[in-house]
Amino acid sequence: MVCGSAFGLGVRRHRHFESNAWLTPSGCFHERQGRPVGVYGDHPEPQPFLRPNGTRRGLKATSDDHAREVMGIDWMTDWDDIADAIPPAYTEYLGAQLLEQLEMAA
């Protein structure tokens, strides 16, 4: 499992990955991260995200720019693509482990 809090991102976005090579989980650092920002659904939420009873549910990205910032993605322009994306920091983290294992096997 990989968590955005391990990479200084504004999202937690826990994701599980399977591989035939050994991968080390990133761990979670929620206490250092503070309140995460949600990037999901069919649109940003410029107003605070409230439950039907008026209590605050959590933070959601307020714009496409905000979503790109908290995900560490600066090239995507479409909300739907950003909401479905895996943060590039995850790919870098897992890719480095896979490259190390390939080098050891060579």
Q: What is the DSSP string of 68-81?
A: HHHHT--S---HHH
pLDDT above 80 for 51:
no
For the CA atoms of 73, 13, 103, 22, what is the dihedral angle to 10 degrees? Answer: -170
**What band does 105 get if pLDDT is binned at 50, 70 and 90?**
confident
Domain that holds residue 64: 4-105
- Residue 73, number of CB atoms within 10 A of its CB: 18
What's the pLDDT at 48? 72
Q: Let me know: does 79 contact 64? Beta carbons within 8 Å.
A: yes
CA-to-CA separations, 74 to 30, 45, 62, in angstroms, rounded: 23, 19, 16
Q: How many domains does the chain have?
A: 1
Task: Answer whether 37's CB lies under 8 Å from 59's CB.
Answer: yes
| Residue positions counted in the chain | 106
Over residues 80-94, the mean pLDDT reads 96
